[in-house]
Amino acid sequence: MKRDDLYFMREAIREGRKALESGDVPIGAVVVLDGRIIGRGHNQVELLKDPTAHAEMIAITAATATIGEKWLRDATLYVTVEPCAMCAGAAVLARLKRVVYGVQEIKTGAHSSLFNLLNDPRLNHQIEVTPGVARDECAALMMEFFQNLREQNKNT
């Protein structure tokens, strides 16, 4: 873990809270370059009715727009949950230097849970990965979402 990882992960958690408030799965992400956040995102799948509106995709798009480049070679993506195959693929295609995430996603995770797209030597780019940063805080956010969902389903 690097010096600022906890700080930036907490910024990703703030983004995840936005998703929670709008009824989406509470995943948040920020892209950091030279110690500065250049892209933010939170899940908006339900809000936009778009299966590609994941936190990572939105943050990567915002980051490339901020710097006016398609490559994020020296940037780090902080995300509360292990990226899925789509988001891991986008991270590889964006040439991110690092991905830092909070909790594993055993059903769809594409770093260590189900696949390892971020470090697959068959791809043209591999990414340094730091898992488990603010794991408990990220897990609590997900548990809150699913607890709320169970309560809603019980009441309907």
| pLDDT tens by residue, 71-96 | 999 999 999 999 999 999 999 999 99
Q: Residue 153: its pLDDT value, please?
A: 76
* 94 Ramachandran zone, left/alpha/beta (phi>0; psi -120 to 50): alpha
* Phi, psi values for residue 91, rounded to 5°: -65, -40
In the predicted model, residues of the chain with pLDDT beneath 70 are: none
Q: Which of the residues 11, 15, 46, 56 is marked catalytic? A: 56
Give the Cα separation of 84 and 90 in Å (integer).
10
Phi then psi for 123, rounded to 5 degrees?
A: -85, 165
Active site residue 56: yes
Task: Return the residue matching tokens 């299966």.
Answer: 51
At residue 155, the pLDDT reads 77
Predicted TM-score of the model (pTM): 0.94
Distance between CA atoms of 75 and 55, rounded to whole angstroms? 16
Pairing of strands 76-81, 36-42: unpaired
